[in-house]
Structure 1
Amino acid sequence: MERPRLRSKAKAVESPNTDFESLLAPRTAGVPLSLSDQAYKALEELLVTAKLAPGSIWSEPALSTLTGFGRSPIREALQRLTSDHLVVPLRRHGFRITEVQVEEQLLVLEARRELERLVSVFATRRASASEREIHFEVAKRLRRAGHDHDTLLYLRLHFALKRFTAASARNPFIASALSPLHALSRRFFFVHRDRFGDLTEVARLHADLAESIGRGDEDSAAACCDAMTGYAVEFTRRIVLE
């Protein structure tokens, strides 16, 4: 069933006083995001933060009203989110938000471990000087978000940085494979954030990886990537045992 209590527009989920999105803007800086991209970004955050509750069912008109975007951008965004395994189309009944599955998350992490290492090493090898500096800057912001226990800011930084690192790796095929895995992982983390433990430690692991890429240290980037994925796997296994 639809959840009419969620009536905020897309602007309600924007983060105030943050400029990391301009910092991590793609190389086509100055070209505005299409309405489809804006709708995707708004819906993806609502899904990742579980404001669109797992298992709930939504129609295109309801999501259009919720976000303030027209039907066409919402339809295009939903097609992408279907590929990301965050929504499932229902014949004549809209879309169902996929459930958060612990067992599925272990498979996600299994795939991420290998792909993440490849992207990190390639980014370390191929990033430009300006891209390395940006990795250093975002590492500082990640540490600050972890220290301040700002989960939503951490997730936004994490999402933007992962896309930026993938672009720095200069391999769009790996980036496309990783994108839905990152979305599923962020949602899993957000849903279970109260049981995760130490956000400061999680942010530190990601900041360490960003700094390794900034230094151009491939061995360190690979090690940091494995440590980051290992931490996530252990957390997920604890939930399985519970």
Structure 2
Amino acid sequence: MKKTATVDTDVMKSAVVAQRRGTEQDGAAATTLMQDAYRQLEEMIVTAQLAPGEVVSEAILSRRIGIGTTPTREALHRLSREYLVQIMPRRGVVVTPVDVGLQFQVLETRREVDRLIARSAAQRATAAERQSIAALAKAIEDTVAHSDVRAFLRLDAQRSRCVASSARNSVAADIATTLHSVSRRFWFCHLRDDQQLLDTARLHLAVAKAVVLGDAEAAGEASDELIDYMLAFAKATLPGASNPGR
């Protein structure tokens, strides 16, 4: 009886462990699906494949990206927190308008957060992270050379996440993620020529290169220069203004 009880207990423990592992795997898969849905939808909104003011539904978006409704819904709620969509209960999802006033507020906040991230990343990034950032910088240079704006945005978003992760400050990283999508969409919707692409890429790459070199002071200065340019870019979209650098 004792032996049987011991065997039964072992079986029960094994079952509990297997169930826990299965739950963890299911949770990881669900998270991955949500992240995939988020990145697809975020890119579609940033690059105006989903136009400002467009009304869509979870079901339509789910079919369009080939991911189930639950992760698609979770992705949309995240995009709502990032000012890119407005969820209207029982009516659908509205892509928010591109708003220069919001862009100014975003850039004011980004100046402080991005500087902190850039400086911290330059000080704290591991050798492997610096290699990853350097590789992304090289890939960005290649896309800019071919005037591939969508590829530039995709790779620069990866670079931004990598730099933020290497800063070892999850609070700052979360804030930056929330704000950067707004800035990227504003920039994409007002981009006029290759020179603006080159200027923007050069400034982003300056931040990346300073982080790779471990130069915190240069990283902070490069971050400020990028925000200065983005402010000038935003101001140039106002009536009667000229393009930045012209």
**TM-score, normalising length from structure 2?**
0.82
> Which segment drifts farther, 202-211 or 141-150?
141-150
Superposition CA RMSD, Å: 1.5
**Which of 207, 210, 235 is the aligned partner of 2:208?**
210
Q: CA deviation at 1:195?
A: 5.7
The higher-RCO structure (CA 8 Å, 6+ apart) is: 1
Partner of 1:178: 176
> Structure 2: 5+ residue runs without aligned partners?
1-27, 241-246
**Which of 136, 161, 164 is the aligned partner of 1:163?**
161
Q: Is this contact kept in 2: 1:35–1:73, CA < 8 A?
A: yes
Partner of 1:35: 33
Amino acid at match of 1:153: A
| C-alpha distance in 1 between matches for 2:163 and 2:177 | 12
Partner of 1:131: 129
Amino acid at match of 1:46: M
Structure (1 or 2) with the greater helix fraction:
2
Partner of 2:75: 77
In the TM superposition, what whole-angstrom CA distance separates every residue of 1:82-138 from its partner, at most 9, and x where no partner exists? 111111111210111100011111111111111000000010010001111222222
Amino acid at match of 2:59: P
Amino acid at match of 1:239: T
Q: Calculate percent identity across the aligned residue pairs.
A: 38
| C-alpha distance in 2 between matches for 1:137 and 1:43 | 25
Amino acid at match of 1:135: I
Amino acid at match of 1:158: D
Partner of 1:111: 109
| C-alpha distance in 1 between matches for 2:55 and 2:172 | 31
**TM-score, normalising length from structure 1?**
0.84
Q: Is this contact kept in 2: 1:119–1:169, CA < 8 A?
A: yes
Partner of 2:223: 225
Larger CA Rg, structure 1 vs 2: 2
| C-alpha distance in 2 between matches for 1:98 and 1:197 | 28
Partner of 1:62: 60
Matched length: 212
> Structure 1: 5+ residue runs without aligned partners?
1-30
Q: Is this contact kept in 2: 1:196–1:235, CA < 8 A?
A: no
Q: CA deviation at 1:205?
A: 1.0
Q: CA deviation at 1:201?
A: 1.8
